[in-house]
Structure 1
């Protein structure tokens, strides 16, 4: 290839790499933010359903506080544990894929170079440019090139299960604090109304936010979120009233 062609290959290959890095970082940030919003939403709904249900059976502030705190801790720890297990599994899969790619690069370098060339060509480069770009990327860092182009993995940015667990714990706790405080702080005569209105307002906000992050219709998302939370509170309150009436 001529020197001009080589420069063209560099120019064409570089934006693909930088664009992919930018898109990957942006996608990662959006995923974390979406997970935080949904975690907070879960905290609001589950804790609200719990404390409203208890409020249907008793007006004792101590019982409400105990139930709310138990629900907050159980929910946040469950979310954190689940996220830790899930992300640990994902991280193990990423490390296994990188190890396999490293082995293939060591044992079949020519085949891996052809594979990278094919992948770049499939992304819109001409065969000649794809071959030149693949060669340059391989010389620079073969594992990183294959990890990014073939696997969609950044070897330096593997998912961290502890970060995911901590974020889930915090998001759920923040969401759960709203119904907990709303049910124990106001006077008994208005605590149920304050809790329901506060929860519905919070669900409106999280529904709007999650819809914006996912580029989904806002009205439909808000309606689903608020409707689901309202049904959950109505059902648990009804069960609480029933159990309170029979003296359970």
Structure 2
């Protein structure tokens, strides 16, 4: 009999969230910018320039934000690991009891918890405490550069989509095709994200479409009002 393989989706949460957030921001912010500029009666060249500038600025902003945020997380993790390493060197017995208490709290018998803690600490004491006491694992460790590049790339991919509509749609009225296409892109993105994460497809699609439509509607109103005023 072949072994039973269970399918879990929790391991996808980290990269899925980053990818969806980046692409969603790229579509929404760039499409909103384009719609707002178009509503102000700007020329086609001005709209394209604004869209490209929004793509570059947005991608760099996402990269910088992620790098700073994840770097701070990495600094905190390293500080915690340094302190934990010192505690292990100074009072290994106390750390063993501390680890065993964690396993008891999770449901293990005290004797078994002590044995498990002892075995894990013999194998790699710091890794055991990092994982079970601090919640730090190798797969989930903060990687600033990777996070920055991923965020910039996914934002750029999302931002390119409404820009392509601007380049190939008729120049007379860009608001409708850009808005419609962007909402379609957001619908597909929301459905894919929900499916990959095992959540409700329609609910996932509705969330991103609602906020995308609201953003584009507000920027179109602002562009129309201030464009007319100018």
Normalised by the size of structure 1, how large is the TM-score? 0.82
Name 1:98's counterpart in structure 2.
81
Shift of residue 90, structure 1, vs aligned partner? 0.6
The more displaced of 174-183 and 51-60 is 51-60
Q: Which residue among 151, 165, 172 is the counterpart of 1:182?
A: 165
Name 2:203's counterpart in structure 1.
220
Question: Which whole-Å CA distance do the structure 2 matches of 1:220 and 1:44 have between them?
Answer: 19
The more displaced of 50-59 and 237-246 is 237-246
Whether the 8 Å contact between 1:59 and 1:188 is mirrored in structure 2 is no
Specify whether residues 236 and 43 from structure 1 end up closer, same or farther in structure 2 by C-alpha distance, changes over 3 A only.
same
Question: Which whole-Å CA distance do the structure 1 matches of 2:181 and 2:110 have between them?
Answer: 60
Segments of 5+ residues of structure 2 without an aligned counterpart are: 1-7
Whether the 8 Å contact between 1:37 and 1:209 is mirrored in structure 2 is no
Kindly indicate which of the two structures has a greater share of residues assigned to helix.
1
Name 1:113's counterpart in structure 2.
96
Question: Which whole-Å CA distance do the structure 2 matches of 1:200 and 1:142 have between them?
Answer: 51
Q: Which residue among 195, 215, 223 is the counterpart of 2:178?
A: 195
Whether the 8 Å contact between 1:38 and 1:206 is mirrored in structure 2 is no
**Cα root mean square deviation, aligned:** 2.2
Whether 2:25 is the aligned partner of 1:42: answer yes
CA deviations 1:133-172 (Å, max 9, x no partner) are 2111111111111111211212576311000000000011
Shift of residue 189, structure 1, vs aligned partner? 3.5
Whether the 8 Å contact between 1:183 and 1:192 is mirrored in structure 2 is no
Question: Which whole-Å CA distance do the structure 2 matches of 1:109 and 1:234 have between them?
Answer: 61
CA deviations 1:43-67 (Å, max 9, x no partner) are 1011111001111122522101110
Segments of 5+ residues of structure 1 without an aligned counterpart are: 1-22
Question: Which whole-Å CA distance do the structure 1 matches of 2:48 and 2:160 have between them?
Answer: 11
For the pair shown, the structure with the greater C-alpha radius of gyration is: 1
Report the 3-state secondary structure (helix = DSSP H, G, I; strand = E; otherwise coil) of the residue aligned with 2:169. Answer: coil
Name 2:113's counterpart in structure 1.
130
Name 1:86's counterpart in structure 2.
69
The more displaced of 183-192 and 107-116 is 183-192
Whether the 8 Å contact between 2:62 and 2:152 is mirrored in structure 1 is yes
Specify whether residues 103 and 222 from structure 1 end up closer, same or farther in structure 2 by C-alpha distance, changes over 3 A only.
same
Question: Which whole-Å CA distance do the structure 2 matches of 1:97 and 1:86 have between them?
Answer: 17
CA deviations 1:183-227 (Å, max 9, x no partner) are 232122353332111101011122223334555443333223212
Whether the 8 Å contact between 1:116 and 1:146 is mirrored in structure 2 is yes
Q: Which residue among 135, 139, 143 is the counterpart of 1:160?
A: 143
